[in-house]
Amino acid sequence: MVHNYILSISAVFIGALIVFIFRPSNQKNLKLLLAFSGAFLLAITIFDLLPEVFEDNPFAKRTGVWIMIGILLQKILEYFSKGAEHGHLHLDKNTYQLPKLLFISLGLHAILEGFPIHHTDGILIGIIIHKIPIAMILTTFLLNTKIKKITIILTLTVFALMTPFGTFISEHISTIQNYYKEITALVIGIFLHVSTTILFESNEGHKFNVSKLLVILVATFIAYLI
C-alpha cells in the first residue's frame, strides 16, 4: 500500500517540476492532457467505481442520492476553488497572499478522492493522471503571482499530501470503513462532475476537435483495459 501514497504524492511534484523546469507555454498541449485526464477519470469511474457501489446493493437508490450529493458538493467547492479542479483558474496575479479558500477547497477535494484509491489500481492511475495537469496549472498560476517561492513550494507539498491523507483515513479509521460505499458514492459524484466539466466545458466555440476526440477515445480504451 505504501506505493499508493508515493505515487499520489509524486503526481503533484511531477506536474510542479514540469512547470518549474520547462515553463511550458503551449496551452493546446496542456488542454489535450487535461482532456485525456478527464476522459480517463470518467471512464475509470464508470468501469470500476460505479459497478463496485451498486453490486449486491439493496439500497441502490440511497447510493444514487450520495452520488448526487457528491455532484452538488463539488459544485459548491468550485465557488471557492474557482474551477481549479478542471483547469480554470483566474485570480489576481498581483496578489502577495495565498488564496486560502482555494486551497481549503482543493484540499477537501483531494482528501475525498484519496478514499477509494486502495480498492482499485485504476482509480489510483486516474487520480495520478488527473493531478499532473492540475498541478501544472496551479503551479503556473502561483509562479505568476508575487507570492514567495518558498510559500509556493510549501503549499504544493501540503496539497500533495492531501490525497494520501484521505487514503490513510479510509484505511485506518473503522467508522469511515463502515460507510465505505456511501463515501465512495460521494466521490463518484465528485469525479463525474469534474471529469464531465473538463470534457464538455473546454470545447472552444463548440467546434469539432479531432485531436481532442482521439485523446478521449485513447484514454477511454486504456481505462477499459486496466
Domain ranges of the chain: 2-20+28-225
Mean pLDDT throughout 98-114?
88
For range 152-178, the mean pLDDT: 89
Residues in Cβ contact with 36 at an 8 Å cutoff, skipping those fewer than 6 apart: 129, 215, 216, 218, 219
CB-neighbour burial class of residue 30 (10 A; exposed 0-12, middle 13-18, buried 19+): middle
pLDDT of residue 199: 86
Residue 47 has pLDDT above 80, yes or no: yes
pLDDT at 185: 94
Q: What is the pLDDT of residue 97?
A: 81
pLDDT of residue 205: 54
Given a cut of 60, is residue 175 above it in pLDDT?
A: yes
71 closest CA partner among 85, 56, 59: 85
- Between CA 130 and CA 193 the distance in angstroms is 13
Is the predicted pLDDT of residue 210 greater than 80, yes or no? yes
80: Cα within 13 Å, side-chain hemisphere: 15
Say yes or no to pLDDT of 87 above 80: no
Q: What is the DSSP letter of 160?
A: H
| Closest to 112 (Cα-Cα) out of 181, 172, 164 | 164
pTM of the predicted model as reported, rounded to 2 decimal places: 0.87
**Average pLDDT value for residue range 147-152:** 90
